[in-house]
Structure formats: C-alpha cells, structure tokens
Amino acid sequence: MRLASLRAAQLRTHPQVEIALDADLTIVDGPNGAGKTNLLEAIVLAATGRSWRTRTDRELVRHGEDAGRAELRFTDEVGASHALSLTVHRGTAERMHVLDGSRVEITSPRPQVVVFAPDRLALVQGSPQGRRGHVDQLVAALWPSRSGARAEYSRALGQRNALLHRPGAPAMEAWEAELARHGVALREARAAAIAEVAEGFAEVAADLGLPGKPSLVYRPADDTATVEELAALLAERRDRDRERGFTQVGPHRDELAIRRDDRDLRSYGSQGEQRLAVLALLLAERAKLHEVRSRPPVALLDDVGSELDPGRRRRLVEEVCRYGQVVIATTSAEELGAVDLPASQRLVHVSPVDNAKFPTSSVTVE
C-alpha cells in the first residue's frame, strides 16, 4: 500500500491542512511546538483509529471545536485508490471510521504504520498492559486471521469476572472453557510473533550499538501450556479469584521482557539503552512485516534523531529509508543532509501562527 495524501480538520493545532504524501520521503520541518507531531498523529489516527499519544479523544480535537477529522488517501496492492477517515468528538466517545464512503468498524484494506517517537519509550518503561497490547497489534499485522483471539479472550474474561460475583452460577465452567480455549490461542499467537522478530531485534540492536546480548522473552504468568491445563487452573483458582473479585491467571497477566544479558532493561537499563532497544524492536517489526506481508509499513519518525549521537542517527535514518515510504519530523531538515536519502522527496514546513487565539499551525509544502 502507498499513501497519497493527508487531509485533517480541527485536530490539535491544525484548523485545516492538506498535504501530499506520495513521495518516498516526506520531511516535516519546523521548530519545537509548531505542530509537526500533530501531523504524524493525524496519519496514525486515520490509518489505525488510535493515537500513540493519548487515549482521550477530547485531547485530539482542536480547542473550541466539537469534532476533528483525519482522512488518508492511499492505493492498495493492485493500484486501486481508497479514502479512509476517522472523525472524533470532544464531548462523547462516538467515533466514525469511513472507508470509501461507507461507515466501517474494522477496515481492510488499511495502511500499516510504524511510529518511531521519543514517547515510545513506554514500550520499555511503561506497564505490562501496554507491552501486551503492542504484541497483539503485531499479531494482527502479521496474521490478520489470528487477531480475533484477543477480543474473544477479553469477552470470556469479562464474563468470568462477572460470574465471580454470583456464587453457584451454572455458566461458570462453560465460560472458563471458553477463556482457556481463547487464552491458549492468544498465548501461542503472541509467542509466535515474538519469535518472528527476536533474531532481527538482536541484530538491529547490536548495529545501533546496544551493548551486551539483547533478547525478547514472552513470559507467561503461569505454567499452563494446553487448554485443559489452563481450564483446570481456572477451576482451581475460582474461590481465590472470587475473594479478590477478578481473574488472576491467564494471558492478561503475561509480560514481554526486553532484555540485555538476561537482565530486564526496564529495571537495569539506562534511558539511552532503553531507547535503542525500542528503536531496534520497531525496526525489526517493520522488516518482518515487509518480509511476511510483502508491503512495508509506512515509517513515521518524530524527531527521534535528536536523542541519538550523529552516527546512530545516520544509521537509523538510512535503515528506515531503505524501503517503503517514510515521513520524518525534524527541527532541522539540514541535519539530514549527511544521510543517504531517497531521491523522491517532499518538504513540508510547519510553523506556529503568531497572535492566534489558540495554538495554531501553518503548513506550506514545497
């Protein structure tokens, strides 16, 4: 798939903006606080329905407005053109995802994107829930047919948790069987996804200069390996779970450990080492998706080079630009001059509007 253009309205600092994205490399240039990241966020919103920066829709809508909208135009593998948009509202949870004029819940075709941003450090520093969610997104990207296991597991988990408050409920065993079946499928998919990118992660991490022996480990919260074993454990823990009011075993308690020399970088790595590990993980995932799906995700780099020394910054940008489309947000386009970049380029300037009532961005395209 290939992006063609972005149109955004009333999102963050952008009242109205439209930019072409059909080049191999789009450089978004401007000072800090101008609204560069907001443009990248609009791309991600339209493509995925999510923001990596917030879970609250009202933060996305421009101050003083009721709703915001992002629309991507793109071509699929056979050259057909599509328009995919997302509308979010300030005061409600209502969302509207539209593909080619029809409202949809799950969209296919859909552009895949990988975001490289300083706040992606949460993949190491943040909660296990965030890492589990990231692995589930990787599963969905690698094998769409396996992506339903998480939703089915979550549904069964919600039912069991509700039944814990109703002692003697006859449906408990049936829901535990469902929970075990989908739980084992979810674990197997997650472990397989990690295995797919583990070797590439280690290689890229070493190339970026992460010291020691980096590794990825999917760590289940219990020792069950089969549907029967997990169902038996759920039955065994039923009374204890009833006392606590929730299910304490299963893949919703699992963890992804990002390690160096068998030590968890979350606890034992410096922030610089954690940053290199996150970049290596995202690069390895993009490379694997390119290999498996034959369509590299669009890479969005949000000023990550500012956190790296010149040598690592050059290696990162050159690796990302080897294939597929790339959008780079930077405070200085001149800094990219020493990097071997694609010939097909477009430069987008973003600047703050002086004396505006609310923070406002101005965008010009060369």
Return the CATH number at 278. Answer: 1.20.1050.90
Residues 233 and 290 occupy one common structural domain: yes
Number of domain units in the chain: 2
Last residue of a domain, one of 239, 259, 294: 294
Residues 280 and 132 occupy one common structural domain: yes
C-alpha to C-alpha distance for 36 and 30, rounded to whole angstroms:
7
C-alpha to C-alpha distance for 315 and 276, rounded to whole angstroms:
12
Residues 281 and 161 occupy one common structural domain: yes
pLDDT of residue 147: 85
pLDDT of residue 1: 81
Handedness of CA 4, 343, 312, 196 (dihedral sign): positive
* Residue 107 in this model has a pLDDT that exceeds 70: no
pLDDT band of residue 106 (cuts 50, 70, 90) is low
Non-local CB neighbours of 154 within 8 Å, separated by 6+ positions: 252
58 in a domain, yes or no? Answer: yes
Residues 154 and 106 occupy one common structural domain: no
Last residue of a domain, one of 258, 274, 294: 294
- Stretch 325-347: mean pLDDT: 82
C-alpha to C-alpha distance for 231 and 243, rounded to whole angstroms:
19
pLDDT digits (tens, 9 = 90+) for 203-244: 999 999 999 999 999 999 999 999 999 999 999 999 999 999
Of 70, 82, 57, 67, nearest in space to 2 by CA: 82
Of 137, 135, 82, nearest in space to 111 by CA: 82
107 in a domain, yes or no? Answer: yes
pLDDT of residue 337: 64
Residues 72 and 130 occupy one common structural domain: no
pLDDT band of residue 308 (cuts 50, 70, 90) is confident
Residues of the chain with pLDDT > 70, as a percent, come to 98
302 in a domain, yes or no? Answer: yes
Q: Parallel, antiparallel, or unpaired: how do β-strands 255-260 and 214-219 relate?
A: antiparallel
Is residue 279 within 8 A of residue 307, CB to CB? The reply is no
pLDDT of residue 334: 74
pLDDT digits (tens, 9 = 90+) for 128-167: 999 999 999 999 989 988 888 999 999 999 999 999 998 8
DSSP secondary structure letters along 223-252: ---SHHHHHHHHHHTHHHHHHHTS--SSGG
pLDDT digits (tens, 9 = 90+) for 50-98: 898 888 888 999 998 999 999 999 998 888 999 999 999 988 877 888 8
pLDDT of residue 338: 64
Range of the domain at 235: 124-294
pLDDT of residue 79: 86
Residues 129 and 249 occupy one common structural domain: yes
Last residue of a domain, one of 267, 294, 321: 294
C-alpha to C-alpha distance for 121 and 362, rounded to whole angstroms:
29
pLDDT digits (tens, 9 = 90+) for 266-289: 999 999 999 999 999 999 999 999
214 in the Ramachandran plot: left (φ > 0), alpha (ψ -120 to 50) or beta? beta
Residues 28 and 158 occupy one common structural domain: no
What mean pLDDT, rounded, does the chain reach?
A: 90
117 in a domain, yes or no? Answer: no
